[in-house]
A and B are shown apart, each in its own frame.
Chain A
Amino acid sequence: MSRRILIIDDEDDIRQVAALSLETIAGWDVIVANSGAQGILRAEEHQPDAILLDVMMPGMDGPTTFRELRKNPATAKIPVLLLTAKVQGPDQRRFADLGVEAVLLKPFDPLTLAAQMSKVLGWE
């Protein structure tokens, strides 16, 4: 089943590899945003099936972006998966406590990212 995914990450390389992975492996439609603010606008406009959201971004970081998405009735119910290179336990717990669907670790494997997302989101 085709899905539409919004990737919000300030790093070009991460955005492009994730987009390549989800488009090529899973055949999903991908929309990208390079900041939290842009991501919120894209989420409102495109109503993606899920959002892959980077944690560390300049300006509005991932957790703040997530809270804004949840406050907005137009985006409140879109599943959000946090993407982070912070692997230490306290960070993981802090992110999980936000109420996101899952916390995925960087570096992700481009060959299995879509499967990982599908599993977490119950799309299998």
Chain B
Amino acid sequence: MTEALARLWTKFLPDIEQRAQVIIAASRTLNTGSLSDEQRLCAHTAAHKLAGTLGMFGLPHGTELARKIELLLGEELLTGAASDLAVWSADLAALIQANKEPQAQ
């Protein structure tokens, strides 16, 4: 089971990294003050998918970060949202990067 799960992690890692990059890109754009509704929706969807996926592969903190990002992007963007998103998206990308090797379950 563990080996099979590790194979699936490796298989889906490119999709997971891509979703994290969508969020990073949205964060950078938000910092410039020009985040479009479309880009925000894409990042919101990416965060939702990561929230549902990362814990399944043994990364519960990744799910927590993705969930915070999903909530932030689903609500009115208040003061501080850009800096929160920058920190959380960087942490999320770093977490994924640090766990590129398959996780033990």
Contacts and interface: CB of A to CB of B under 8 A. Distances in A.
Interface of A: 11-14, 16-17, 20-21, 24-25, 56, 84-85, 87, 106-111
Nearest to A85: B52
Contact of A20 (B5, B15, B48, B60): B5
A87 B67 CA distance: 9
Given A85-B48, A110-B56, A25 B8 contact: no
B66 to A, nearest CB: 9
19 contacts: A12-B12, A12-B15, A13-B8, A13-B15, A13-B56, A14-B53, A14-B56, A16-B8, A16-B11, A16-B12, A17-B8, A20-B5, A25-B1, A85-B67, A87-B67, A107-B52, A107-B53, A107-B55, A111-B105
B12 to A, nearest CB: 4
Interface residues of B, number: 21
Interface of B: prevailing SS? helix
Interface of B: 1, 4-5, 8, 11-12, 15-16, 48-49, 51-57, 60, 63, 67, 105
